[in-house]
Amino acid sequence: MNPSIRKVSAVLGVLMVALFLNLNFVQVVKGSSYRDAPDNSRVLLNEYASPRGQIIVGGSPVAESKATNDELKYLRVYPQGPLYAPVTGFYSITATPSPYLGTEGIEKYEDSVLSGGDSRLFGRRLADILTGRNPRGGNVELTIDAAAQQAAYNAMKDSKGNLRKGAVVAIDPSTGAILAAVSTPSYDPSKLSLHDPSKIDDYYTALTNDPADPLQNRAFNSLYFPGSIFKIVVSAAALKNGVTPDTQVLAPNGYIATTGASVKSCNGDVTNCVENFEGEQCENGKTASLAYALAKSCNTAFAALAVDQLHGQAIADEAKLFGFDPDSQLTIPMGVATSTIGPKSDLVDPGHLAHMAFGQQSVRVSPLEAAMMSAAVANDGTLMTPYLVDRELAPDLSTLSKTKRSEMSQVLSPTLDSELQQMMEGVVTSPEGTAHSAAISGVTVAGKTGTADTGATSASKIQPDAWFTGYAAKNGSAKIAVAVILENAGVNGNEITGGEAAAPVARAVMEAYLKAHP
């Protein structure tokens, strides 16, 4: 071969190798960084080139894409934004402090279906491209009931129309389907989905600077002291251990956990001694039936029961069946905060165990878990796995998948559970009950109230949280289980407790649902 040709060939070979290496470096090594670079608009343009699928409640979209005349061809909108924000989440292009705010809620966890990228939609997407049709994303149909959701949101408003801090979660006890999930105060996802980054930044900054924290999903991701609603768990453990609703249990005005002694007053000993709410007397001041103690919500009775008879492990085992599990990987499909009874050391320390028995110490619960507690009791002792997505749909509305109901645990046998049901009904109907304001004419309502100490000192002027969890049954069948938390709404001294503050919210939700589903 001519030497000149050999030289040219060698140079061309080197250039081809260099080109090959450069292409691999750009596509493999640097591909992700180039794709995600803030000034690369191709990904963004491609993402907004096709309409994203709908998120549907009761046949109507609560999130959908609208055509625009912008460079970004479609705009994500939420027709009833704040009402459904805890479940829809948001779909956003950009916001401070990161280049991409991204997605939250169902928008995030069902993104593959909504965007059309799911492998089950590949054939339809390919056919759309080949025929020149604009590809569309699939749709997601939620379990949320529109009537229950609206009633929950409205009931969270105070007398002036302002949304109070807290959450409402409702569940179908027989299936685990989540019927309502409200977190207040809320926000408008549409304002995080605008095509103007500066407006998104302004709104996002305002939300993050708001001390009420509207972006916090209190329904699924916040943990609270459960207060006396945890007595449902202790009651279930007691029934399993041979205690009956009529069994007389120790119920003094004051109970010292370390010695088991009954006293008239704790005299300031808040570590090892327990008193009833506002110093109330439980029945005769010495003993009370288990049913009376639950209806009246006697702290001393449950503290003594936990320390002297049940002990910590029995309560821990029962709590785990109800869903208090630090190892839980529960998704709905979003991940949820894990409810817990606290460290194992609390199970053997008498003072800690006594306070755990009425939902204080290190016990923490999410509103979802609080609703699951009542749902299990309502469903003859069977706890169903909660879920938020009913069906995933193709763009033509054919079904890609439907969520299968699944049993999570058996918290009580049906026989023992019927006794707990009657006890919880007594909380609403008996003269000593604390939840009279949850009653609905012609409907069986059962529940448990709670006024949970937040751990704040009186000097801080932060009031206890108000709880109610319960269920409504009609014609012998449990229809809906509801949990309500109102932050700092249980006011000591004036006895504005869970029964007076939170129970009316639950009643409004139950009434709305039963009216819509007679």
Q: What is the DSSP string of 115-136?
A: HT-SGGGHHHHHHHHHHTPPP-
Per-residue model confidence (pLDDT) at position 472: 97
Marked catalytic residue, from 50, 228, 289, 437: 228
Q: How far, CA to CA in Å, does 243 sit from each of 95, 274, 296, 350, 437?
A: 57, 21, 18, 20, 29
Q: Which residues of the chain have pLDDT under 50?
A: 34-40, 95-100, 458-459, 492-495
Q: What is the pLDDT of residue 463?
A: 84
* Rg, C-alpha atoms of the chain: 28
In the chain, how long is the greatest CA-to-CA distance? Answer: 115
Q: What is the pLDDT of residue 427?
A: 98
The confidence score (pLDDT) of residue 366 equals 98
Instruction: Check if the beta carbon of residue 178 is closer than 8 Å to that of residue 170.
Output: yes
Residue 449 dihedral angles phi and psi, to the nearest 5°: -95, 165
Residue 495, pLDDT score: 43
Going from the C-alpha of 24 to that of each of 29, 34, 201, 290, the distances in angstroms are 7, 13, 37, 73
175 is written with which tokens?
Answer: 């299936």
User: Cβ neighbours of residue 308 under 8 Å, at least 6 residues apart?
Assistant: 250, 260
Q: What local confidence, expressed as pLDDT, does residue 22 receive?
A: 65
Please, what are the domains in the chain?
Answer: 225-322+340-356 (3.40.710.10)
- Nearest C-alpha neighbor of 368 from the set 228, 511, 507, 223: 223
Has 4 been annotated as catalytic?
no
pLDDT for position 119: 86
